[in-house]
Structure 1
Amino acid sequence: MADGRLQGRKVAVLATDGFEQVELTKPVEALKAAGAEVHVVSPKGGQIQGYNHHDKGDEVPVDRELAQASAQDYDGLVLPGGVINPDQLRLEEAAIDFIRDFVRAEKPIAAICHGPWTLIDADGVDGKKMTSWPSLKNDLRNAGAEWVDQEVVVDGGLVTSRNPDDLPAFCAKMVEEFAEGRHHDGRAEAGAGTGETRSTV
């Protein structure tokens, strides 16, 4: 059921082969239900291969190749997990530049499971309170993040969760933060809520 909170907003979902299927499809469903226009952006065109844990899942069509995408065209960014997906994206300079542009513009970002890996390379975790798949804990801490084991954490427009079980909470907070818009020094530029930096269990 559409609630219209994201009407007129455009959101990019950056992924490539090896993404965890539900970590892409469920956020896309939630964003579209809230009225957003959503583009799956990838370094490659055509289709990208999803996974259900270690088994191949469905292919998802790419809406826009990364070479033709700009962070200026979008109001928010989603980073799904899956081990292979962010590991490959970290080797793509254009993908890291794309994410870094969202970080620098203080646009809201939602990253789940292994998704926050790419934020390390894009200078997007230093000083942030966040969570992730447990194996990323030391990587994120070494990059300056405060890592916590919580269902969903929100800090200045950055939404993070640990695994697919957290998707209901992740999607709810993602829509809320994307509705608030750009954040400056932890405060939302416009929209409902205070926009203050906070964490949520």
Structure 2
Amino acid sequence: MNAARRRADAAENRARIIGTARAVIARSGEVKLNAIAKEAGVGQGTLYRHFPTREALLAEVYAYDVDELVAAAPALLTEYEPLAALRLWFDRVADYARVKRGVFAAVEAGVQRDLAANSHGPIGDALTALLVAGKADGTIRPDVDARDVILLIGYLSRLDEAEWDARARHLLRLVVDGLRRR
């Protein structure tokens, strides 16, 4: 096997591990590395080559979700009116928050603080882009900023898993309604 193919295989394995870990966290919040390796179809050695610790894997899952969430804002603005883009982005926020909650439950407090500190800036920037577009077209109230919205949606981390499906997206829609210019 040539070096380029080995690198491609390694990248595929890494992506499959991250995707599987994300699905496991969203599904159960329980992070057992041997179960993730098995479900991803890789050996434990492969998992540990990519992620030497559980925290390293969780940090990568979290970073991947932050990147996806941030990239979604400008993409949605190219396809939808600002208010619709914000609503669709909030749907992604609900998915992100579910995984974030699972990641934070599984890592130490110090790692949790580092993860949160590294995500607030990019997420705030993405949210600002959505709000600015909505203010420019007159659909979003002029008196709100990203920090207001981040504080409002912080409640997602307090929802019980049993309430998640029934309440997360509904509550985000209430926030969107409150942001709408009357």
* TM-score in same-fold range (> 0.5): no
Task: Give the TM-score normalised by structure 2.
Answer: 0.32
Which protein is bigger by CA-based radius of gyration?
Answer: 2
| Higher relative contact order (CA closer than 8 Å, sequence separation 6+) | 2
Task: Give the TM-score normalised by structure 1.
Answer: 0.30
